Amino acid sequence: MLTTENTKIGFIGTGVMGKSMALNLLNAGFPLMVYTRSKNKAEDLLEKGAEWAQSIKELAEKVNVVISMVGYPSDVEEVYLGKDGVIPNASENTYIIDMTTSTPTLAKNIYEEAKKKGIKALDAPVSGGDIGAKEGKLSIMIGGDEEDYSALIPVFNKLGTNIVYQGNAGAGQHTKMCNQIAIASNMIGVCEAIIYAKKAGLDPENVLKSISSGAAGSWSLSNLAPRMIQGNFEPGFYIKHFIKDMRIALSEAKQMEMDVPGLQLAESLYTKLAELGEEDSGTQALYKYWN
């Protein structure tokens, strides 16, 4: 099992969620090396003792655990499979954990390529947004070999509280698609409920007191509806990344010959918002579609 004494973690991607996740590992005592395209995004971590890597190649050569939290499947592919990426440059028995929401197919490909070099790969996407990342209370959905998951539990425990091994490579990503499908339709309902409350002349904050702990309760209703009411559309999770996730889920559903009308509607609404310049807003900005 990995401990702070025998582990050096390399963290790639210090955006809205990645920075908080990396900080939790650093605060837990894990030696940490970081790489991100814009070094200024890692300054807080460097000031607290993290080591800077000049490249992904350098990072891969100097750590025994790599965690990535980047934007798109194309970024994941570059990070792990590129000539100067992790798999071509990491040592045997290195653990690699992609926590980006990406495609199940890519997760399986990374696993197979890593296995050829004796590298241990897990796909471990997360849910919980910026709040879950800051508080170390993310839900983590894990695919790969169970023995590798077991070895990494001390690391996962510093990032989340709902940590579930889902099965073979790609299973984590498939589980995240289930999560995003559920959120997509739920976000429409949350927005419509708040708009309805306003149009009915009610106090939306008071309405939340009644409905957020009842049968209508959800994470989005409790955490994102208050932001909508306050006019706070800062990203805990970017619209552009949610659109990416929904399109992955739509593609996977199509391959399974599954009809997903709720997901299709949500993707179309978010796409309209992105076209209006809201792609860098938080997912709660769906509220603007009505307001």
What is 20-52 written as a DSSP string? HHHHHHHHTT--EEEE-SSGGGGHHHHHTTPEE
Report CA 209 to chain centroid distance, whole Å.
29
Q: Count other Cβ atoms within 10 Å, centred on residue 220.
A: 21
Q: For residue 230, what is the enclosing H or E element?
A: helix 225-230
**If we measure between CA atoms, which residue out of 204, 203, 184 comes closest to residue 194?**
204
State the Cα–Cα distance between residues 132 and 109, nearest whole angstrom: 29
Is 288 assigned a catalytic role? no
Torsions phi, psi of 152, nearest 5? -95, 5
Name residue, tokens 């471990």.
124
**If we measure between CA atoms, which residue out of 25, 27, 20 comes closest to residue 8?**
25
Give the pairing of strands 120-123 and 95-98. Answer: parallel
Instruction: Please identify which of the residues 176, 198, 240, 244 carries the catalytic annotation.
Output: 176
User: Which positions are catalytic?
Assistant: 176
